[in-house]
């Protein structure tokens, strides 16, 4: 699941929330056929798309006025849990919250590159690499 929170312009608290369970693309913009519709003159009709990728979500700017993360304009960016984006330099801010399974590897399990620690019968720890 991915959750989008529209943040209050001053207090940075959520004022509207959208939750998506199984969508592979989420469109955000001013046009009525978007998944998230934001009525602001600085928001383009089709401003941002979120695409589900094998290793998580990707954010793609489509807007003429740009999309910003930490005051830096982006074209394409991998989504991180609890990141905040701004549509245009003075437009609405959206916080993106990822379910735990959205920020893991494609199978939803630990990465195969991470070692695993096991205990033998005599209590000694052994670190094993997964292949």
CA-nearest of 39, 35, 82, 24 to 48 is 35
CATH value at residue 49: 2.60.200.20
Kindly write down the DSSP assignment for every residue of 103-115, as one continuous string. Answer: GS-TTSS--TTS-
| Domain assignment of residue 77, yes or no | yes
Higher-confidence residue of 116 and 101: namely 101
Higher-confidence residue of 30 and 119: namely 30
| Stated pTM of the model | 0.76
The position carrying tokens 């401003």 is 47
pLDDT of residue 100: 75
| Domain assignment of residue 125, yes or no | no
| Domain assignment of residue 111, yes or no | no
| Domain assignment of residue 122, yes or no | no
Structural domain count of the chain = 1
User: Has residue 21 got a pLDDT over 60?
Assistant: yes
Average per-residue pLDDT for the chain? 84
| Domain assignment of residue 119, yes or no | no
| Domain assignment of residue 127, yes or no | no
| Domain assignment of residue 38, yes or no | yes
Range of the domain at 9: 2-103
Q: What is the pLDDT of residues 80-101, one digit of tens each?
A: 999 999 999 999 999 999 987 6
Q: Which two tokens stand for residue 78?
A: 């991998």
| Domain assignment of residue 129, yes or no | no
- Which residues touch 58 (CB under 8 Å, ≥6 apart)? 50, 51, 76, 77, 78, 79
pLDDT of residue 96: 98
- In degrees rounded to 5, what are phi and psi of residue 102? -75, -20
């Amino acid at each position: 699941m991915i959750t989008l929170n529209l943040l209050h312009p001053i207090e940075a608290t959520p004022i509207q929330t959208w939750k998506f369970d199984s969508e592979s693309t989420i469109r955000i913009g001013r046009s009525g056929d978007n998944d998230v519709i934001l009525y602001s003159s600085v928001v383009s009709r089709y401003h941002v798309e979120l695409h589900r990728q094998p290793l998580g979500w990707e954010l793609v700017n489509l807007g003429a006025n740009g999309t910003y993360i930490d005051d830096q304009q982006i074209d394409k960016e991998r989504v991180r849990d609890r990141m905040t984006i701004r549509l245009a330099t003075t437009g609405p801010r959206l916080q993106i919250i990822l379910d735990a399974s959205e920020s893991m590897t494609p199978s939803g399990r630990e990465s195969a590159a991470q070692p695993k620690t096991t205990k033998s019968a005599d209590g000694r720890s052994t670190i094993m690499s997964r292949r």
